[in-house]
Chains A and B, each alone.
Chain A
Amino acid sequence: MKEYSTPAEAVDAETTVTLTVNGETRQLAIPPNVVLLDALRDRLGLTGTKKGCDHGQCGACTVHVDGQAVNSCLKLAVMCEGHEVTTVEGLASDAGLHPVQQAFLEQDAYQCGFCTPGQMMSATALLEDERIGTDDAAVREAMSGNICRCGAYKNILAAIQSARGQSPSAQQESENP
């Protein structure tokens, strides 16, 4: 492994990337060293996704890529070619807030609100993931990649548990047993 190789001629050539963001096809012309987080914020104007640490250590930048929660600060945007990205801006629908958003509102599951988009993206993914247990301890463990320095963990947990069973897909399931 060589860390100190001098980079060849500064490679700043832009690549075209086509991805789906919140259901819309978007095209980006970007150099390869742009991460998904900065592409969303600086180039697509989707600033709801937040940068807390830029190193996968806080979870504020959590988005879904193909339905899975990931740290968008550690994902190169060029690697999202052809993938589906969902951000906090894609949670609510014409019908109103997503059940998780509604639960966060009702349970006061935030203070400053800066980690909140990431918390909700992890929460929505968790509620759709049958591999993750439903008890409080399992939820707290699964949510531990989302730091809330305001410390609103108690209310976040309450919000997630109260939204359980109300997620759009869960409702669909109960309608079509």
Chain B
Amino acid sequence: MRSFAFSSAENIEQAVSAQSDNAGEGAYIAGGTTLIDLVKLDVMRPAQVIDLNGLPLKEVEQLDDGRLRIGALVSNTDLAHHPLVTEHYPLLSQALLSGASTQLRNMATTAGNIMQRTRCPYFRDVAAACNKREPGSGCDALEGVNRMHALLGTSEHCIATHPSDMCVAMAALGATLTLEGPNGSREIAFGDFHRLPMDRPDLEHELEPDELITHITLDTPVVGGGSHYIKLRDRASYEFALASAAAVVAIEDGVIRDARLALGGVATKPWHAVEAEQALTGQPASNESFEEAAEIALAEAVSREHNAFKAPLARQAIVRALKHATQAAMNS
């Protein structure tokens, strides 16, 4: 961990201007669970670290239109256990609690989780070729040890997996991010925030260097929806997903009226399986429908030497998540 200057922002304006003054060479810190990890590995080398913890962004509130507004600094633990979340968005709670560990969830924030970076070992190793870390240097993962890598949204420049569980739930639930920059605030749909790697895997999202996420607003919950988050991994806890699925279904007379589906562990960004959702709508809530949706969701999968198993694994995750979500919908 090299040296850096440190400052604490007392308000949002100060946070934004601190970053502008640094020409984007600074880094915001909230929970620190990604930043400090990567600075220790010399993967990130900020000249300045700007502490955001003094900002008033720690509230969870229900808006008049029924949506849920979450402050950027709400910890993963507090969000997972918040009564409005456990009541209206149990999927989000489940996804949050399946991620990381108690300690990390206590530290990690909602916006920080959205900004967390890939676990690709070649990204984390400064001696390896990585287009995300060092644009144009190549990608050692393509022909390397790529069991953990992505199948969806990949390019010939990057196959790094997005590691978040929380974001998978948000992709399924639908959300809007509020960003604050030198020119004021703007909004962006959650699904548009993370970028596909394409030929610039270093550009991971739509946030400008001197912008800050201040809030995440969840769409209104699906009426009558049952949900389930399933995470498949090698050990039982405290590990990133090999494949995960977030599902919400609303059922009427045995027919799926509304479906939401997103995938984790298999894609370069939190993966909203839109076509699979469309295919489910209007179909009977049956295993056949679930399997059909799973086929559609993985239709574009591109596998590499060691990760081909993740396609069938992700299909299994989808089918099981839909099955449990259906049961939850029936019981609600």
Contact = CB atoms under 8 A, between A and B. Distances in A.
Interface of A: 1-8, 10-13, 15, 31-33, 35, 54-56, 59, 62, 68-71, 73-76, 78-79, 122, 125-126, 131-132, 140-147
A79 B104 contact: no
Contacts of A7: 2-4, 45-47
Interface of B: 1-6, 24-25, 29, 31-33, 36-37, 39-41, 43-47, 49, 51, 53, 77, 81, 100-104, 106-107, 133-134, 202, 204, 209, 236-238
List 10 tightest A-B contacts by C-beta distance, closest first. A145-B101, A32-B6, A144-B237, A144-B238, A11-B3, A131-B81, A74-B36, A68-B106, A11-B5, A8-B47
A62 B237 CA distance: 18
B237 A3 contact: no
Given A32-B4, A144-B236, A79 B29 contact: yes
Contacts of A1: 44, 202, 204, 209
B103 A59 contact: yes
B102 A69 contact: yes
28 contacts: A2-B209, A3-B134, A5-B45, A5-B47, A7-B2, A10-B2, A13-B5, A15-B6, A33-B1, A56-B104, A69-B102, A71-B103, A71-B107, A74-B33, A74-B36, A75-B32, A76-B6, A76-B32, A76-B36, A79-B29, A79-B32, A125-B102, A142-B102, A144-B102, A144-B238, A145-B103, A145-B104, A146-B101
Contacts of B133: 3-4
Contacts of A59: 101, 103
Nearest to B41: A55
Contacts of A11: 3-5, 47
B165 to A, nearest CB: 14
Contacts of A74: 31-33, 36-37, 104, 107
B4 A145 contact: no
A93 to B, nearest CB: 24
Given A76-B36, A145-B101, A33 B2 contact: yes
Nearest to B204: A1
Contacts of A62: 103
Nearest to B100: A145
